């Protein structure tokens, strides 16, 4: 059974987090709970639903869009996106208004636009403060005939920017990302597509964005995997989705953070974007029973224990260097591929960390056989405690499968 929840809103201590408590009980009964990571953007500790027994889902873009263009008087064409399907403005040029010296007008806040200035013209509104659709309503009330919604440096380069930095202490979150921008979804006819009271249009579907869109995608994939593998546990299904995720798009370019266009990292995309076909046949699984999660909860109350993720058989690694420079984790892999399979490990990491894995070769003779390996992370001397997070990966592979685990390194607890 699967239970998707599109509730975000920040994280809380586990014993106060009703979603985490309910999800833990569900996990004990064999139910996989997937939750939205939230849409709070690229700030520290902005992610929601961080329990290790929860499938935490971020949002990614698609390889298709709804293009729209604005041609300026100098013939320069600006590219954008739009879902407007009403009557066009025709081919005759119209005036363009941008109130850069007025902070209220530049954001198109309620009552900020002067009808005498904007009537019959197109208004440029910056993103931020009020809802995007509300800006359009404000301009319409003032007599404007069109709006150009401009992204600011904070809002990023995409229609919606949903990245998450510094998730949960000792557990790398989000787990994965899925399709979450400009998604065609069902919509109630009780309210117009903009959600505004003055919008009397009725429609059975709407285009929406955010982790509330990506979370159901992942839940659906998990259900398909369960149908194909009835014997798999919730953590096994999570492992399959995580270890087969990709971090390059269909042009073979690395995924980028929509906030600023920079290269994305595991704090933004987790293990990567889900790959449904590969997840059906992952080769190896990181399975987790109930007991390690209980240990995780107990250690959470101990301020001296910040790296308890080493005791959870998680498909990713989070290493927090502070007073301690050496960490040794143990993981267990279950063979769900062909019998007599051999996997060799490849380690990728920053120059500031020495990584060693033992053994470096795992040979499975039967399906369902389990093998353990240990990995040691050593933070090299001279690395500043205020250094930025760095990243790496541990990959077990053969000719048939590639089982990849992301690793995140931090040199301070980043409590600010």
**For the chain, what percent of residues have pLDDT higher than 70?**
80
For 75: left if phi > 0, alpha if psi spans -120 to 50, otherwise beta; the answer is left
The pLDDT of 338-359, averaged and rounded, is: 96
pLDDT category of residue 101 using cuts at 50, 70 and 90: low
Residue 414 has pLDDT above 70, yes or no: no
pLDDT of residue 195: 76
Residue 129 has pLDDT above 90, yes or no: no
What are 153-183's pLDDT values in tens digits? 655 555 343 333 333 446 788 999 999 888 8
Helices 211-228 & 234-243, crossing angle to 10 degrees?
110
Q: Copy the structure tokens of residue 57.
A: 């889902």
Contacts of 57 (CB under 8 A, 6+ apart): 34, 35, 36, 37, 174, 175, 176, 177, 178, 211, 214, 215, 217, 218
Has residue 120 got a pLDDT over 50? yes
Which range scores top for mean pLDDT: 18-32, 41-55, 213-227? 213-227
The residue with greater pLDDT, 43 or 128, is 128
What is the average pLDDT value for the chain, to the nearest integer?
81
Helix, strand, coil percent values for the chain (each to nearest 5): 20, 30, 50
Domains of the chain: 2-61+210-410 (2.60.40.2310), 67-150 (no CATH)
Q: Is the pLDDT of residue 385 over 50?
A: yes
What does pTM read for this prediction?
0.80
- 197-228 pLDDT, tens per residue? 777 888 888 888 888 889 999 999 999 999 99
Give the model's pLDDT for residue 109. Answer: 83
Comparing 241-245, 246-250, 273-277, the range with the smallest average pLDDT is 246-250
Which pLDDT score is estimated for 304? 47
Cis? peptide before 168, omega within 30° of 0:
no
Q: Tokens 């800006």 map to which residue?
A: 135
Per-residue pLDDT at 102? 66
């Amino acid at each position: 059974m699967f239970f998707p929840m599109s509730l975000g809103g920040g994280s809380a201590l586990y014993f106060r987090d009703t979603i985490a408590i309910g999800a833990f009980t569900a996990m004990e009964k064999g139910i996989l709970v997937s939750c939205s990571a939230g849409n709070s953007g690229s700030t520290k500790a902005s992610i929601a639903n961080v329990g290790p027994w929860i499938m935490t889902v971020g949002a990614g873009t698609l390889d298709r869009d709804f293009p729209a263009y604005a041609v300026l008087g100098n013939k320069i064409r600006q590219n954008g996106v739009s879902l407007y399907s009403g009557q066009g403005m025709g081919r005759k040029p119209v005036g363009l208004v941008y109130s850069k010296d007025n902070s209220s007008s530049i954001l198109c806040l309620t009552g900020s636009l002067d009808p005498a200035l904007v009537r019959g013209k197109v208004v440029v509104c910056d993103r931020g403060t009020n809802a995007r659709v509300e800006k359009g309503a404000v301009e319409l009330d003032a007599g404007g005939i069109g709006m150009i919604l401009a992204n600011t440096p904070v809002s990023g380069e995409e229609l919606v920017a949903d990245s998450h930095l510094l998730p949960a202490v000792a557990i790398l979150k989000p787990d994965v990302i899925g399709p979450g921008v400009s998604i065609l979804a069902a919509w109630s006819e009780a309210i117009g597509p903009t959600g505004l009271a003055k919008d009397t249009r009725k429609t059975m579907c709407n285009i929406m964005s955010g982790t509330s869109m990506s979370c159901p995608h992942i839940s659906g994939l998990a259900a398909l995997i369960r149908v194909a593998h009835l014997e798999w546990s919730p953590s096994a299904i999570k492992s399959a989705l995580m270890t087969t995720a990709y971090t390059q798009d269909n042009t073979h370019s690395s995924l980028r953070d929509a906030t600023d266009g920079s290269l994305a990292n595991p704090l933004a995309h987790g293990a990567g974007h889900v790959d449904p076909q590969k997840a059906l046949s992952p080769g190896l699984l990181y399975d987790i029973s109930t007991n390690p999660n209980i240990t995780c909860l107990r250690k959470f109350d101990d301020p001296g224990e910040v790296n308890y993720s080493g005791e959870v058989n998680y498909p990713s690694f989070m290493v927090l260097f502070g007073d301690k420079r050496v960490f040794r984790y143990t993981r267990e892999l279950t063979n769900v591929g062909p019998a007599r399979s051999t996997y060799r490990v490849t380690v990728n990491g920053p120059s500031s960390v020495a990584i060693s894995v033992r053994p470096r070769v795992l040979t499975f003779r039967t399906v369902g056989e389990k093998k353990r390996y240990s990995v040691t992370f050593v933070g090299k001397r001279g690395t500043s405690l205020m250094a930025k997070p760095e990243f790496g990966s541990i990959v077990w592979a053969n000719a048939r499968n590639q089982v990849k685990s992301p690793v995140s390194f931090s040199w301070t607890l980043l409590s600010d």
